[in-house]
Chains A and B, each alone.
Chain A
Amino acid sequence: MAEGAATGKTDKVLKITDLRIESIHGLVLVDNVSLELKRGEVLGLIGESGAGKSTIGLGAMAYSRGGCRITGGKVEIDGTSIRDLSAEGRREMRGRRIAYIAQSAAASFNPAHKIINQVIEMPVKHGIMSKEEAKAWALELFRALDLPKPEVFGERYPHQVSGGQLQRAMTAMAMSCRPDIMVFDEPTTALDVTTQIEVLALIKKLIRDYNTAALYITHDLAVVAQVSDRIMVLRHGKMVELGDTKQILGAPKTDYARALVSERKEADHLSQLEEVDESNAVLSVSSAVGVYETFVAVNNVSINVAKAETVAVVGESGSGKSSLARLILGLLPRKSGSVKFNGKELPPALKDRNKDELRRIQFIYQQPDVALNPRQTIGEIIGRPIQLYFGRSKAEVDKRVAELLVEVGLPAEYAGRLSTALSGGQKQRVSIARALAAEPDLIICDEPTSALDQLVADGVLKLLKKLQDELGVAYLFITHDLGIVRRIAHRTAVMLKGEIVAQGPTPEIFNPPFHPYTERLISSVPEMRTDWLEEVLSKRKAG
């Protein structure tokens, strides 16, 4: 693979030596990281958020985000030190020799222009190709990326194609100048598992076919296992470990890498949960139909949650799982069917419910950043339900807030801080504390861990489990992550297009005989084997 280009260019297409990036306040974001990339080689950069992965990825283009600057080190592309170039020269390099593919394709495309015009813009502007040549090349890329009707695909606007297609179109845009190096920054993180597998396969094929070198940034070890030759584990801006993919996955040398690997492996096993008395139903939804204007988001759904039970609702984005939660909460109008809570019918609309009914069902959001008011202190946020529902005095509220903070694993002094001063995992713990403050019977969790890092998410899950054991609270747990379902759910419901297609105790759902859609969902979750992707694809082709 390494000797792919015998064109007289150096073998090392990218060489970064002692790269150091600091914030303007002097915080070290990337601490003397060095790496080398050969033609046709893929290096995976892995670590939690804040590890400096993206900063290094952008650093490879000698670019730093606002508020940071590169303070040391050398970045060489094909032997040219890119930091020594003029601003003009650096601009020439970017896009042409080294291209960047961001996590959010939707944010990277201009919604006002057709896709094709954005894809051919760079080669035409750099003067590498004429407009016709660029269009022909874009067409070839669209074909290689398996986009539907490649001839007319480019004529659409970004909002007219799906997320997976847009992500592929962005890959085409990055490839438009035939760069030597591609930087992929979590390109599949925002996609559904069944879409992710397609995009992964195509990215892999593209890199192989055009012998491009790539940096692949991700937080998911199983994803990086599929595409990369080597893996670099990063933490707090420092390199922890660098090695072959097989070695990192099979025999990591450092403790941190070992923790990451074992954490990911744990998700593949079903955990043993205590039996739950099903007769003791807290929530029972029967034949509920929920409609947005004319679109039926929840179609004839029946589901029960018993005391101290966790029921998982899984499905891809758009399957109606969040709509089900909104229907139960009274935010989505219920057209027919019934929602009973503790045996009593709940009014369909939020405004008709009384304080007690509101208190007993709490909700935890996916994005802790927007679920907490950035201008209120933690104490105000957690204390408000106590004050509102129980009308306690200021001193009692403060005391209870301190208890709750300790309960969710945060120091009691945090009560005086603003939520913006907390990390994502800490914010989610505050959300949990706010829900607990109302002393609910049921907590509906909408992907509470999907915005968090693996190890942090694990802590939050363990906390939810602990609280269930102590307080007997029931969870309706909405997620797309089957690993989580295996670990915490007593029962599982699989949703597709607004309907529940399979429902039952979790072990039954995850063992044959499967519902065909459940099988597809399960088989699309990347596994920590380097040959997994090929295996699944060939199996699907055969099937």
Chain B
Amino acid sequence: MRIFGHKPTITAWVGIVIVVGFILIGIFAPWIAPYPEDQTFDEVGSYASPSAAFWFGTDQIGRDLLSRVIYGARMTIGIAFVTTILSFAIGIVMGLWAVVGGKIVDQILSRIVDVMLSIPLLIFALIILSLFGSLFTSVLGSLTVLVFVIAVLDSTRVFRLSRSVAMNIVVLEYVEAARLRGEGTWWIIRREILPNALPPMISEFGLRFCFNFLFVAALSFLGLGVQPPLADWGGMVKENAKALAVGGIGPLWPAAAIALMTIGVNLIVDWILSINARPSGASAEM
């Protein structure tokens, strides 16, 4: 089978199976999950061990962990994907514009980013979400605000990378040739630089995707991320962390889900990179 004209490697298939599997689980969560995500089972109690009725056991207030992991897929993957894509769109466009747009544009954008980077990400997110969160939430909904805030903050990291990658490309002669030809800024960004800057950006995508997972988790823990009773993997790890102290294995299930998803994404990214590293036909006529 071929995807976009390329045959996936075995490791790529593993990644595709994992990622597609989780996405399907997320989409069909209400049909797959044995129980609703917010139903508590007082008769079983909290931190119950796995059993026939509760395969993964129960969480800190007696909800079924398996169901919550399944519902969590929807929330976690959805938010992480959307924020990462958004942050890359913002970061790449700004980064390339800084490189091509001249010294003044570069200075302004870079200094704004420096200011944003100098404030710890989590604190910055906390301030923005607590100051403006409620204001916009009424209009846009809490998840949209969350996604947007994380994406903008995360895009500063993407900006730095795309700017430095593009710096090395913009001095190459084919870009100068385009300038000599009289091409405009947007054409140079889109056609000359972007295609050549993509490979390192794709590998960064895998990494940032995982960071965003954890960032959402951290915000959830502080009460500003995904709001209870909605389930998300990162939040579940935090909620159930105490189970380890009493001999339970509760937090390991969502943690394993995070790890598995991360590995899956990176396997696919590796494969895309290997295609990109050697444009088709590179070995012809050697």
Contact = CB atoms under 8 A, between A and B. Distances in A.
A418 interface: yes
Give chain B's interface residue range (CB within 8 Å of chain A): 20 to 34
Contact of A355 (B182, B283, B285): B182
B7 to A, nearest CB: 16
B281 A418 contact: yes
Interface in B214-273: none
Given A385-B181, A388-B181, A388-B183, A25 B174 contact: no
A388 B183 CA distance: 8
Given A367-B173, A370-B174, A358 B181 contact: yes
B282 interface: yes
B282 A329 contact: no
B130 interface: no
B180 interface: yes
A368 to B, nearest CB: 9
A371 interface: yes
Interface stretch (A105-113, A373-381, A400-408, A515-523): A373-381
Contacts of B191: 373, 376
B6 interface: no
A374 B279 contact: yes
Given A331-B176, A374-B279, A421 B284 contact: yes
Contacts of A394: none
Interface in B173-204: 173-174, 176-177, 179-183, 191-192, 195-196
Interface string A470-482: 0000000000000
A417 B176 contact: no
B174 A371 contact: yes
Interface string A357-389: 011000101010011111110000000110010
Interface in B138-189: 172-174, 176-177, 179-183
Contacts of B180: 329, 331, 350, 358, 363
A363 B177 contact: yes
A417 B285 CA distance: 12
Contacts of B182: 353, 355, 358-359, 388
A418 to B, nearest CB: 5
A5 to B, nearest CB: 41
Nearest to A375: B195
A420 interface: yes
B137 to A, nearest CB: 42
Contacts of A329: 180
Given A350-B179, A385-B181, A388-B183, A421 B173 contact: no
Contacts of B177: 363, 365, 371, 434
A355 B184 CA distance: 12
Contacts of A160: none
A375 B196 contact: yes
A336 interface: no
Contacts of A370: 172-174
A318 interface: no
A417 B23 CA distance: 37
Interface string A245-256: 000000000000
A375 B197 CA distance: 10
Question: What 9 A-B pairs are tightest by C-beta distance, nearest first?
Answer: A375-B195, A421-B281, A373-B174, A358-B182, A371-B173, A370-B173, A421-B284, A365-B173, A418-B279
Interface of B: 172-174, 176-177, 179-183, 191-192, 195-196, 279-286
